[in-house]
Amino acid sequence: MTTLARLTRQHPVVAVTLVVLATVLGLLAAGQGAIAEGVATVYVAAIIAMTGLDMLRDIRRGHYGLDILAVVAMVATLIVGEYVAALIIVLMLTGGEALEEYAASRARSELTALLDRAPQRARRVLADGQMEDIPVDDVRLDDVLLVRPAEVVPVDGELLDDSGTFDESSLTGESLPVERLRGEHVMSGAVNGEVAVQVRATATAQDSQYQRILTLVAEAEDAKAPTVRVADRFAVPFTIVSLTIAGIAWWLSGDPVRFAEVLVLATPCPLLIAAPVAFMGGMSRSARSGIIVKGGAALEALARARSVAFDKTGTLSHGRPELADIRAVDGMDPHDLLRLAASAEQFSSHVLAAGVIRAAEEHGLKVSSGVDAREVATHGVEGTVDGRRVRVGKLAFIREEDPTAELGELRPGHTAVAVSVDGRFAGTLMLRDTLRDNAADTVRVLREVGIEHVAMLTGDHGATAQSLADESGIDDVHAQLLPEDKVRLVGTLPAPVVMVGDGVNDAPVLAVADVGIAMGARGSTAASESADVVVMQDDIGKVVQALDIGRHTYRVALTAIWIGVVLSLGLMLVAAFGYIPAVAGALTQELVDLACILYALRSRRGGTSHPELLLTRPGQDSRVRTSRAASS
């Protein structure tokens, strides 16, 4: 009874239609045909009026949909006295919404599961060893939290126990549990293993990784898929063909009933329901693989992509630059140069800044706390350190203060960070960032699956960019770019264009590309927010998987539509010769709807079409397959 009441509240028109249909059938069984016809006619006429008004509003907005077929079919069945068939058409149209809702909930199950698993409470360990249960939003930085076995880690944290095992599959798509050691980062949203562990909060709930994913998922759920565009490609021709078949059948037979019998089989539910379900399934499948897709429009663009452009640092490369050399000018101590640069770089979000700071720590240098600091996006950072004004960044940024600044010779694969102190060039830090282990395979597979153009767009120096491009197999290299240069160059590539990046400076180009893919595992929030697709695992091979999912989803959506079109047209031709009565035709069309929706749900499953890409992650000895998540 509870389920029936819920369905009635959610879909009142369906409930009323069922009551009216039962009443009409009961009156017919009691021999009250005239009353039954009157009840059915009044009710169907009301539905026709409401549907017609909605159709007129759509037409005024320039949208010509498939409602006209449903309206004509209902009018025709009423005129020829097939009022039971008219009621079944009403039930089919109104019930289609309920059926779509059910199918959509199945299709987006992984998205919904992520939202449902969001931790609500956390267990804080007090100074005296006692526990207190608190809302997750009340967790503060450096709080010590207890995570019991099989519980979800509530916020990002640092592991305090010797080791722990965590299931990160819902975050990254990696099916195997991962082991973390004392001091290592533990992501919120990961599921703890069989032993309780303690973690120190390194972020609040709002700033944690899982909350970022939930925000992206909410955007993906709210995003409107391009299914209206997909269905509308079929709407006008399908409507014309259906009316033509019905008109010819009437003309040849001389029987207006034949017109109604054909049109009851032309109702548009397969076009209106199957495609949305397919796109929701594709987004759900992506989420299961650690790829958050913000709407069906991104899936469609992925399916038709012709060009892929990559940023270099943190995208094609590991994004963990290591110090290779310190070139200090005469009179500047190399260690002092590194310390001052690291102190200023604390205020930068660039991956090179992290490399400089890490190098200072490895050299045992104490980083000072700077003041009056500011980051100049894509150029560098400046601030006051121990009373001295320090600038760190690109050569052009340093030359604004000292035109005599020079980097010297760059070795292949090296990047130079220039430093000035008190307005004078002080030296350069040479950093080395290696290519990702599967970057070359990713570029090769992209070409194998039909991507026409692969390019590198980077703000780094030409020699460094060319060296990594040669290793990865990319021919088209554009270096020393500003964000506006990247935006301009993306517009010159064969469209649709996929742009892959991870930093703040990539946010503009990710926003303007047909599909922006952010490497969100370690990338900036700005990049994730402006991108259409966010890869939650630090694995460039996921770009190929995203393309595969987009193509598979779009193919399933189109096939589901064609199934509905072909079956409907075939049945209409049979009905044109008088072999399918109106009531039987309306019921048969329900089976066509069901077949289309069941096929559309195939977008939630399916293997990838590309060869397996192997990924060796930093700090891991074993090699894992990036396609494993797709097949699990």
Instruction: Report, as residue numbers or ranges, the catalytic residues.
Output: 311
Q: In angstroms, rounded to a whole number, what is the distance separating the alpha carbons of residues 553 and 562?
A: 14
β-bridge pairing 163-167 and 191-192? antiparallel
In whole angstroms, give the CA distance from residue 224 to residue 413. 43
Name the region of 290 (left: φ>0; alpha: ψ -120 to 50; beta: rest): left
The residues facing 508 across adjacent strands are none
> Could you tell me if 427 and 328 are in contact, meaning their C-beta atoms sit under 8 angstroms apart?
yes
Q: List CB contacts of 270: < 8 A, sequence separation 6 or more.
A: 560, 561, 563, 564, 565, 567, 568, 592, 593, 596, 597
Place of tokens 């559309």: 600
Q: Which residue has the tokens 């700090």?
A: 619
Longest dimension (CA), the chain: 110
Q: Which CB contacts under 8 angstroms, 24+ apart, belong to 95-102?
A: 95/11, 95/14, 95/17, 96/269, 96/272, 96/273, 96/593, 97/11, 97/14, 98/7, 98/10, 98/11, 98/14, 99/273, 99/593, 99/594, 99/597, 100/272, 100/273, 100/276, 100/277, 100/597, 101/10
Pairing type for strands 533-535 and 291-293 reads: antiparallel
CA 70, CA 177: separation in Å to the nearest integer?
52
Q: Which residues contact 260 (CB under 8 A, 6 or more apart)?
A: 73, 76, 77, 79, 80, 82, 85, 246, 582
- The enclosing H or E element of 131 equals strand 131-135
